[in-house]
Amino acid sequence: MDKTISVVPVNNAEPNLDDSMRLISEGLPVRRIKHKKPQGASLLKVRDGRLYYETANKFNSCTNRFKNVDLAGILDIRNGYGTDSLHKASKKYKFQCAAPENLCFSVVFTHPLFMHKSADFVAQSEEEKLEWIKAFQQVLSVKKKEKLQFDEKAWLISNFHKADKNKNGRVSFDELWKLLKKLNLQISEDYARVMFREVDASRNGAPGDNTLDQNEFLTLFERLTDRPELRHALRLANEHGMETLNAEQLLKFLSEEQKFTDLDTKKVTGIIDMYETSEQAKEQDKLLGANGFRRLLQSRWGNIMKSGHESIYQNMDHPLSYYFINSSHNTYLTGLQLKGEATVEGYISALKKGARLLELDIFDGEHGEPCITHKRTLITSITLRNALIAIDKYSFVTSPYPVILTIENHVGLVQQKVMADIFQEVLGDKLYLREEGSATKPLPSPNQLKRKFLLRGKKLPSSAPRDDKFDQEDDEHSPEHHKKKIELDPEYSRLISLPSVKLSSNIYLDIKQHPMDGSPSLSESKVPSYVDGGSAIFAYTATRLVKSYPKGIRQDSSNMHPMLSWICGIQVVAMNMQTAGEELDLVNGMFRVNGNCGYVLKPQILLDGHGTLSYQDLLNRVFRSANPGSFRQSEDYNAYRRY
């Protein structure tokens, strides 16, 4: 039985927000699905910004207990068998009878111990379920808009009330210290205690009562977040060296330093009203003080990105190889590489973050259908079909540009035929097929490939002269002595549009012999040697799509540094997107430009294939050039530079 992750089919009439709030507050009768079985009757409802549902008390069968999830942490609502747990449960006919797909839905949310977690439910009526989900989605949409308009004061007051455990309107130092650690303020306990005492005694100069009320807490937070460097910037922006800015001074700062246009004194006065919370400063000729200046720089007005680069501004009509591409490694994992689960959540999360290249490690599966897992580990598998259904649904939500699926093919000939059928059945006409003559032509452009999937992997050579250079060895991640020739099904091979090739010791010969749409992969450990080898790698990446990936010893899913690969012109730098750190921060920063569409135009020096400069010179020219990546002297690649 085919299973789908479907969009909730609701009528087009938008319900009134108050009606929606009332409906979700009254609740929806459901049964929670746990351990592949529907549990007892429960009620799913929203109260005080949290989603509540009853769950059976495993210690006392006569009583139930409530679990709850903050609405701000809810990521998705999926209709049908839309999560890994429901995929697995639905393999049993008995479960399908007890929890029909049209009555099932899931709430996916963030969890402190996991990347994502889901609560799965079965409703009593499909009509009631769809009506409740539509109302819930409307409320969530409003909450997301409110989150974008961040109110620091309201956020602080909310955290104050959370820290006030005994609800007496005051917090002790112990309660405060727990909150400060939760908010990740990088200060010592001794310093926090000194500041606490100062604020506690500040109203009348007498010793305090060792607690802070709400206003005292707000004062303390302002003192703790005071930054001397921002005060210095204020003095520089004020011609008199004062630590305040009036409307005219702020207008000059935003126009000359931040490069904003279409501002006037009236608009800037409104900005001061928005970010300066001190009534005294507001009354004194509309002045922006240090704390207001900090809030301003944390908003869009302090954005380091050049104005206009938060949307798609680059020319998207060049060949695919002209762009850096936001790419993921072992996309199906959400944790370590030795144990755990392969999951559709990894693909969904990567796509929502802007990834345009996903990795599928495909093996022979049970019941005659291929599955995705991590070889020679304890990672449990997911079916290829369910993974592709999720990929198809989420691929073009954040970006219309093509998604590349890198296939690590460990499937036998029999299931390769099944694999080919599944790709065509699920992706249909979105699957881009290699055109005749592709071996001698530049790759199509992102605009030409909008809403298309390209399969990248091993391919059988055709009669074309350059096609005999395809790489026919198994698995780019395997050690050299373990590699072997693989057998390919012709129908599956036909679907591959970016065939794997292998770089030799003579890259200039490879440039002449490799097909133009050929795509080699380089281990992280090999990239430095190609840089040291001279300009050949730069000439190759100027016209071919190349991927680099983390070396095999990174079993903890840590990431390689992307910079050296980018400097070589390598377009596809595959990252473990579930692992935070400086390396992933650099990638996120790189792809925030150009509308976070997953494609960023390479600078001209790399498109020209020049590589005779030193490493430092390349750094300077690639990332500090006045207008790299420019074809008409108008496309400013360096979105992070304002001067």
For the ranges 77-86, 464-473, 561-570, the lowest mean pLDDT is seen at: 464-473
Residues 625 and 638 sit within 8 Å (Cβ to Cβ)? yes
Residues 471 and 502 sit within 8 Å (Cβ to Cβ)? yes
Confidence label for 276 from pLDDT (cuts 50, 70 and 90)? confident
Catalytic residue among 116, 329, 477, 514: 329
Q: Is the model's pLDDT at 8 over the cut of 50?
A: no
What's the fold here for domain 17-147?
PH-domain like (2.30.29)
- CATH code that applies to domain 320-461+485-626: 3.20.20.190
Catalytic residue among 116, 309, 374, 477: 374
Mean predicted lDDT score pLDDT of the chain:
83
Confidence label for 628 from pLDDT (cuts 50, 70 and 90)? very low
Region 65-91 average pLDDT: 88
197 Rama class: left (phi>0) / alpha (psi -120 to 50) / beta: alpha
Instruction: Tell me the per-residue pLDDT of 611-625, one tens digit each, with 9 for 90 and over.
Output: 555 555 655 555 544
Cα separation, 437 vs 467, whole angstroms: 10
Confidence label for 602 from pLDDT (cuts 50, 70 and 90)? very high
How far, rounded to the nearest angstrom, does the alpha carbon of residue 575 sit from its chain's CA centroid?
A: 11
What integer pLDDT is reported at residue 5 of this predicted model? 46
What integer pLDDT is reported at residue 531 of this predicted model? 80
Of residues 388 and 145, which shows the higher confidence score? 388
Residues 329 and 371 sit within 8 Å (Cβ to Cβ)? no
- Is 610 designated active site? no
Could you tell me the residue ranges of all domains in the chain?
A: 17-147, 152-225, 228-302, 320-461+485-626
Phi, psi of 130 (to 5 degrees): -65, -40
What's the fold here for domain 152-225?
Recoverin; domain 1 (1.10.238)
What integer pLDDT is reported at residue 578 of this predicted model? 79
- Whether 17-147 and 152-225 share one fold: the answer is no
- Is 116 designated active site? no
Instruction: Tell me the per-residue pLDDT of 324-350, one tens digit each, with 9 for 90 and over.
Output: 999 999 877 765 444 556 788 889 989
Burial of 8 (0-12, 13-18, 19+ CB in 10 A): middle
Instruction: Tell me the per-residue pLDDT of 109-133, one tens digit each, with 9 for 90 and over.
Output: 987 665 678 899 999 999 999 999 9
Q: Is the model's pLDDT at 31 over the cut of 60?
A: yes
For the ranges 88-102, 521-535, 610-624, the lowest mean pLDDT is seen at: 610-624
Of these ranges, 161-170, 292-301, 443-452, the one predicted with the greatest mean pLDDT is 443-452
Residues 268 and 288 sit within 8 Å (Cβ to Cβ)? no
Of residues 533 and 508, which shows the higher confidence score? 508
Region 90-94 average pLDDT: 92
Look up the pTM and report it: 0.74
- CATH code that applies to domain 228-302: 1.10.238.10
